[in-house]
Amino acid sequence: MAGTSDPQMAVPANPVAVIGSQLCVPYPSDLNIVKKVMTLKDGAFQVVDANGNALFKVKGQVFSLRERRVLVDGSGNPLVTFQQKLLSAHNRWQAFRGESTNAKDLLFSVKKSALLQLKTKLDVYLAANTKEEVCDFKIEGSWLDKSCAIYAANSTKIAQMHKKLTAESMLLGKDNFGVSVSENIDHAFIVALIVILDEINEND
């Protein structure tokens, strides 16, 4: 799983453990996220490391009042549940610990930086940041080009996503994303942000 060499990536001063410290890896990593485009089943998103080992899967409820997704680890244990907040002008999504959707278990929320955007710009707020005057993380890029970066509040880039074109993706109706993650970053947090990013852009 090691091997990331993005020269623009920086090592954060402290580990970024939003969902769990056990999900941080002490070296740069490459993840592969496969999205099955033509499916309504659980597991539309699957995440593997550079060696093909299953790390995460996203389970979803398709026909529900609000879209809800659950990120599970390779053994099927729920890590975080995220859902769209109803009546939210900025298309806000909220993420909760485990399978909870209680306010006390809120981990973070994601919303558009502005209602109208030519390029993707999302603000990420941790649960403790109730005033939301300054975001804790931000996502910027071009969803049309399937390329985006995730930054910490100090503008340190902690992850970079790009679309990978493979024969499998073209023939089998799958989107294949490569994600380079800096060291000591919560992998589940990065995957959750990318899935939420995908949901927001699909809704648009």
Q: Answer yes or no: are the C-beta atoms of 199 and 93 closer than 8 Å.
A: yes
Which runs of E-coded beta strand occur in 18-173? 29-36, 45-49, 54-61, 68-73, 78-84, 93-97, 106-112, 120-126, 137-142, 147-152, 157-164
Confidence of residue 13 (pLDDT cuts 50, 70, 90): low
Average pLDDT over residues 166-193: 80
pLDDT at residue 5 above 50? Answer: no
What is the per-residue pLDDT for 116?
Answer: 67
Kindly report, residue by residue over 40-62, the tens digit of the pLDDT.
Answer: 555 578 999 988 899 999 987 65
pLDDT at residue 165 above 80? Answer: no
pLDDT at residue 126 above 70? Answer: yes
What is the per-residue pLDDT for 39?
Answer: 52
pTM of the model: 0.86
What is the maximum alpha-carbon separation in the chain?
47
Place of tokens 């990318």: 194
What distances in angstroms separate CA 93 from CA 53, 133, 203, one per listed residue?
A: 29, 18, 12
Residue 125 has phi, psi (to 5 degrees) of -120, 125
Domains, in order of start, for the chain: 24-202 (2.40.160.200)
Residue-level length of the chain: 204
What is the per-residue pLDDT for 204?
Answer: 59
Strand partners of residue 96: 81, 106
What is the per-residue pLDDT for 63?
Answer: 47
Between 101 and 165, name the one with better pLDDT.
101
**From CA 188, how far away is CA 163, in angstroms rounded?**
19
Strand partners of residue 46: 34, 57
Average pLDDT over residues 163-169: 62
**Closest listed residue to residue 25, CA positions, set 124, 158, 198, 147:** 158
pLDDT at residue 72 above 90? Answer: yes
**From CA 42, how far away is CA 56, in angstroms rounded?**
12
What is the per-residue pLDDT for 36?
Answer: 73
What is the per-residue pLDDT for 106?
Answer: 97
Ramachandran region, residue 126 (left: φ > 0; alpha: ψ -120 to 50; beta: rest): beta
State how far Cα 136 lies from the chain centre: 15
Torsion of CA 69, 74, 76, 82, to 10 degrees: -20
